[in-house]
Homo-oligomer: A and B are copies of this chain.
Amino acid sequence: MNIADKLIQNTIKTKNPSVIGLDPDIGKIPACYKMNVQSKNPLEAVADVIYAFNRDIIDTIADLVPAVKPQMAFYEKYGSHGVAAFEKTVAYAKAKGLVVIEDAKRNDIGNTAQAYADGHLGVVELLDGTWSPSIDADFLTVTPFLGTESLYPFVNVCINHNKGVFVLVKTSNTSSGEIQDVVASDGMTISQSIAKYVSEQADVCAGKHGYSSIGAVVGATYPEEAVSLRKIMPKSYFLVPGYGAQGGGAKDILPCFNPDGLGAIVNSSRGILYTHMSSEERARCSRQEYLLSVQAAAKQMQEDIYAVLKNKYRQMIY
């Protein structure tokens, strides 16, 4: 199945166009996860806690959301042990039927971009000359700063291995405009130019719902820009950060969607994992208490987004 179709199928099933970010922060993970850890070295011990924590989160939200978005920075900061926890998290989430969006904002040029594409989404060459999947995420976020030539290896791997990318087009942070809003001589902003490229590539990975797995990151914090970007990229899926902790509200995400209620998936990380309990509560709670609060936060986000969407797009298909 086309991976955009799988994302859509999961979205319709859960009536939820949202994704939960798996951003493990050892300072914020409840204390009950950090007791009695038996590991060879201290970095491995952290990685073991992260994986146990993720597994519980995934079990809790697997029927509520279509996808998870592990942020690689929070794993690779613990080196190879952290990356091992990342790999196990990807495999566990996929086994539970979730689509896995790897947020790693990778890119480089030529054969180096190819190496990133092969390792994160495609297959890598082994000693005997055969090829094997490696990290094997479903989607990967990629950075366009090096130009369209650097994006091509990723598009190509998406075609050959039925994967997807979200190209950074307009990010949610306050300084995103310094480069992304600059207007070129053709009258388009940098964001709009990248959007045009993404849209041109979209057809090659379009699924039966008409949406492409060659997608874009468009922040919830810039709803006006989202209107113009949706027009330029009518058939690309949007990954929408900035909801919740970063200040974007449910109404701000509306321009990222099409009237069918599809075309975007809204991320929340801290708002689901950490902000619903105080640090004092996280120091004392049981796993069950913590996970019930995660479940409640995920359900609340689904209800908020679904209500706003349904109110505006009465013809949406779920």
Contact = CB atoms under 8 A, between A and B. Distances in A.
A25 to B, nearest CB: 8
Interface in A173-226: 173-180, 182-185, 190, 193-194
Contacts of A232: none
Interface in A50-89: 71, 73-74, 76-84, 86-87
B43 A126 contact: yes
Contacts of A281: none
Given A78-B134, A108-B105, A178-B148, A127 B46 contact: yes
Given A49-B127, A145-B168, 16 more contacts: A26-B126, A26-B127, A42-B126, A45-B126, A46-B124, A46-B126, A73-B112, A76-B119, A77-B120, A80-B87, A103-B108, A107-B143, A109-B173, A144-B179, A146-B176, A183-B185
Contacts of A10: none
Contacts of A8: none
Contacts of A97: none
A78 B147 contact: no
B87 A178 contact: no
Contacts of A194: 179
A147 B127 contact: no
A29 to B, nearest CB: 10
Contacts of A183: 184-185
Contact of A83 (B80, B132, B172, B185): B80
B147 A145 contact: no
Contacts of A146: 168, 171, 173, 175-176, 179
Contacts of A113: 73
Nearest to A33: B127
Most chain B beta-carbon contacts within 10 A, residue among A45, A77, A111: A77
A135 B82 CA distance: 11
Contacts of A134: 43, 77-79, 82
B118 A77 contact: yes
A174 B111 CA distance: 14
Contact of A110 (B119, B120, B143, B173): B173
